[in-house]
Amino acid sequence: MQPFRRLEGIAAPLPMVNVDTDKIIPAHWLKTIKRTGLGVGLFETLRYREDGSENPDFVLNREPWRRARILIAGENFGCGSSREHAPWALLDFGIRCVIAPSFADIFFNNCFKNGILPIVLPRETVDALMAEAETSPEPVFTIDLERQLILRPSGNAPVRFEVDPFKRHCLLEGLDDIGLTLKKAHEIEAYEEALRREKPWLFRPAA
Amino acid sequence: MSGPRTLFEKIWDSHVIEEQEDGTCLLYIDRHLVHEVTSPQAFEGLRQSGRRVRRPDATLAVPDHNLPTTDRSKGIADETSRIQVETLQKNCAEFGIPLFDALDIRQGIVHVIGPEQGFTLPGTTIVCGDSHTSTHGAFGALAFGIGTSEVEHVLATQTLLQKRPKTMRIRVEGELPLGVTAKDVILAIIGKIGTAGGTGHVIEYAGEVVRGLSMEGRMTVCNMSIEAGARAGLVAPDDKTYAYLAGRPMAPKGALWEQAVAYWRTLPSDEGARYDREVVLDASEIEPLVTWGTSPQDVAPISGRVPDPAAETDPQRRAAMERALAYMGLEPGTPIAEIRIDTVFIGSCTNGRIEDLRAVAKIVEGRRVAPHVRALVVPGSGLVKHQAEEEGIDRILLDAGFEWREPGCSMCLAMNPDKLSPGERCASTSNRNFEGRQGKGGRTHLVSPAMAAAAAIEGRFTDVREFL
């Protein structure tokens, strides 16, 4: 995974609540057996018109937001399915940070596994950042994960954000969870041995 | 460990291998269900790192999302779907994972076959790369959906890194009125707490009504926990749970069964156990419900009307309602019972089990589907289909004008050829009414199987209680 330390980029405002994973990436894109190439399907129904041409009203089709690396959205972003294709699509488009008042749990987790930083902030703060993203001539924000700060294009006071310390550590270092867990192989084995004794019904011969 | 504990806490505590200082737990996973859509990249990751599957015996795979529901003996016509299903076959062969393939009678929706086979057991941790894994919580298991990176993590290590969620108890007290089903109960809950109401929580469903539900009904309720924002929902196991599981192919037998049941009886929450949040619903106030919008929280009673966004004070929420009504092609104030439908979909991991098909058959027996309505029944598994045929349910449905299909996820998410066309309006027993969920431009109204059956007959939404 690519480490996430400091991200400088344009932020796009998406003032919608309950943006679900079907909206982020419709189900027909889920037939892929790869992680890449999903950026073109990101927000498909919002981004394209019936004939396949770009919808000029959608924020990610307009300058400067079509170059967005940060998304600012309404509450409960990413609700719905567990599809990791949603963060894969964001990443493939170039977005590595989503700011919202709240996220759905599975999507939130999936982001961290892919080097995307989801930031939860109070609704008023999100609204203020969203307004800046919409009105600043060059809405470039800097996300500083080391200092846990968002630097704003307006020059207003930076916004401090909270992040789980372990998840922050993994993002900063670009760590692979599986590699970390496999260092605990002895502990897992010991647990399994005890489990075989205490709950033998959980083990069955391979079919 | 001191003090009374909840069902969730008992399961969680017994699965923690190690807890880090910041509270992140390494959690052991007892059961892992795998399907074709969210697993290819995980197996690819294993291959690239030279890793094996730690416990193939605790893993079970089945294709469900992509399969056509018409004759499959000649394979899958859609190339990308076919490749995805073949990729699952190859991966299972390579890594030694048991697979119920497309033509196996045991094939079905992953959340229908787990319980059906006795793979799902009380007191276990169960995961799957699918958000409706919460279904298995009906058996008193901690079951939740995970992304593909986590699928790979479980395949390689049989564990997950998780933070302990908060707990919420939802009690449904009183008696369910006639014609009100488990689906109406969960829609009522989502309507009350909202689609993010359970975020960060595990929900325990309790109370007289939940105890009174069949295992199928409990699965319907737990299934839609994720639509209330909760990754997991569970119900304490009881004699109904054990009666359902006894004799299932993968459930323990003989002395092991006795040992397991003795353990399972220790699982229900202790008297005085505390929850972070408590919600109580009065069952007598629940009516048959229909969703009018594009979020599962957008519910209205069949006797009600489409709400007016003008009454909403929060601008973002008002905008969401306006957008939903425009998408759904509905005017504020329209009586729900005047909404005409084009299509009926009976099936999905929410309502594709035998009891759901019986409920539909009971309503439509001796009646005819309205001439302008296309009505589809997709059983949740090959075994559900077989049982329904044994009971003559297929004849009743076919005689009424329904199509009787092969099992799978089908029109719940339209990854196979079963889709809505733009503007097509559907009464669906599935779980999500998101924009485009059942096909681009399709309009989904979530209802119970009985309400969907009544809508099929009338060609519009109607109060199922008039049919009883």
Per-residue pLDDT at A204 exceeds 80:
no
Average pLDDT score, chain A = 96
Question: Mean pLDDT throughout A95-111?
Answer: 98
Name the token pair of B194. 């909202």
Write the pLDDT tens digit of every residue in A58-80. 999 999 999 999 999 999 999 99
* pLDDT at residue A176, rounded to an integer: 84
Give the strand pairing for A149-151 and A140-144.
Answer: antiparallel
Site from A17, A82, A111, A202 to mutate, B interface, most B CB atoms within 10 angstroms: A82
Region of residue B214 (left: phi > 0; alpha: psi -120 to 50; beta: else): beta
Cα–Cα dist B331/B312, whole Å = 15
* B461 neighbors B445 (Cβ within 8 angstroms): yes
The verdict on a CB contact (< 8 Å) between B41 and A35 is yes
Q: What is the mean pLDDT of residues A182-190?
A: 97
> Which pTM value belongs to this model?
0.97
Whole-number Å distance between alpha carbons of B119 and B97: 14
Longest dimension (CA), chain B: 64
Rounded distance, CA A183 to CA A189, Å? 12
End-to-end CA separation in angstroms for chain B: 51
Q: Is A190 contained in some domain? A: no
Please give the DSSP secondary-structure letter assigned to residue A58. Answer: S
Please report, for the domain that includes residue A119, its CATH number: 3.20.19.10
Chain A residues with CB-CB distance to B165 below 8 A: 105
**Cα separation, B210 vs B217, whole angstroms:** 8
A43 lies in a domain? yes
Interior/surface letters A22-31, b for 16+ CB within 10 angstroms, e for the rest? bbbbbbbbbb
From the list B248, B240, B230, the residue with the least C-alpha distance to B8 is: B230
B26, B124, B316: residue with CB nearest A202 = B124
For A21, the domain range is: 6-175
Q: What was the pLDDT predicted at B1? A: 54
In a domain, A191, yes or no: no
Nearest Cα of chain A lies from the Cα of B422 at a distance, in angstroms, of 10
Q: How far apart are CA B258 and CA B418, in angstroms?
A: 44
Q: Which residues of chain B have pLDDT under 50?
A: none
Tell me the H-state helices in chain A.
Answer: 21-24, 44-47, 85-93, 105-112, 123-135, 165-173, 177-182, 185-198
Answer yes or no: is pLDDT of A206 > 90: no
Give the gap in angstroms from C-alpha A81 to the nearest C-alpha of chain B: 5
Q: Do B58 and A18 touch (CB under 8 A)?
A: no
> In chain B, positions 235-294, which contact chain A (CB-CB < 8 Å)?
250, 252, 256-257, 259-260, 263
**Is residue A193 in some structural domain?**
no
Q: Which two tokens stand for residue B340?
A: 């005409």
pLDDT at A141 over 90: yes
A187 assigned to some structural domain: no
Parallel, antiparallel, or unpaired for β B125-128 and B31-34?
parallel
pLDDT digits (tens, 9 = 90+) for A112-124: 999 999 999 999 9
Q: How many folded domains does chain A comprise? A: 1
Q: What integer pLDDT is reported at residue A207 of this predicted model?
A: 39
* Partner-chain contact B57 A203, CB within 8 Å: yes
Instruction: Please indicate, yes or no, if residue A194 is contained in any of the structural domains.
Output: no
Residues 6+ apart with CB under 8 A from A51: none
Q: Is B306 left (phi over 0), alpha (psi -120 to 50) or beta?
A: beta
Cis peptide bond N-terminal to A64, omega within 30: yes
Phi, psi of B164 (to 5 degrees): -65, 120
In a domain, A159, yes or no: yes
**Is there a contact between A30 and B65 if contact means CB atoms under 8 Å apart?**
yes
Let me know if residue A207 belongs to a domain: no
Q: Which residues of B touch A182 (CB under 8 A)?
A: 156-157
C-beta atoms of A33 and B38 within 8 A: no
